[in-house]
Amino acid sequence: MRRRKDNHKARDLALQRMERLFMLAAAVHSAHPERSDRYVQIARRISTRTRVRMPRLLKRLFCKHCGSYLSASVSRVRLRDGVLTTTCLSCGEQTRRPYARPKATERFDQDRTGS
């Protein structure tokens, strides 16, 4: 029976390339927004072809509907009732994610215990 090939190197390389593309997209976005969208498209293709999951932090940086890079100038972020809503201003699509606020009682207890 054939042994499975070790894909750790390929996986690490794919993750490095995706991270680098998102760094480039952030750096170039103010001058060339269409280029940053292209970098996102390339990173998504790398993820698909190598069957490597894109890290959660990178997934939040682009619109799932139109594929555009979400910077402060192209997106609107709202916090309401424990839900973070990101609106893409290119296509109008909304993404909702739950978030946990620190509770007042937890903060009060930490202050009393001194930790």
pLDDT, tens digit (0-9, with 9 covering 90-100), for 1-39: 666 666 789 999 999 999 999 999 999 999 999 999 999
Number of domains in the chain: 1
Residue 98's CATH number: 1.20.5.420
More confident residue, 86 or 2: 86
Residue 98 has pLDDT above 80, yes or no: yes
Is the distance from CB of 82 to CB of 98 less than 8 angstroms? yes
Residue 66 lies in a domain: yes
Residue 37 lies in a domain: yes
Residue 1 lies in a domain: no
Residue 13 lies in a domain: yes
Residue 99 lies in a domain: yes
Residue 2 lies in a domain: no
Residue 3 lies in a domain: no
The sign one gets for the Cα dihedral 3, 8, 13, 14 is positive
In 3D space, the residue among 55, 42, 41, 44 whose CA is nearest the CA of residue 12 turns out to be 55
Range of the domain at 95: 8-113
Q: How far apart are the first and last CA of the chain?
A: 57
DSSP 95: E
Is the distance from CB of 26 to CB of 71 less than 8 angstroms? yes
Quick: pLDDT tens for 57-81: 999 999 999 999 999 999 999 999 9
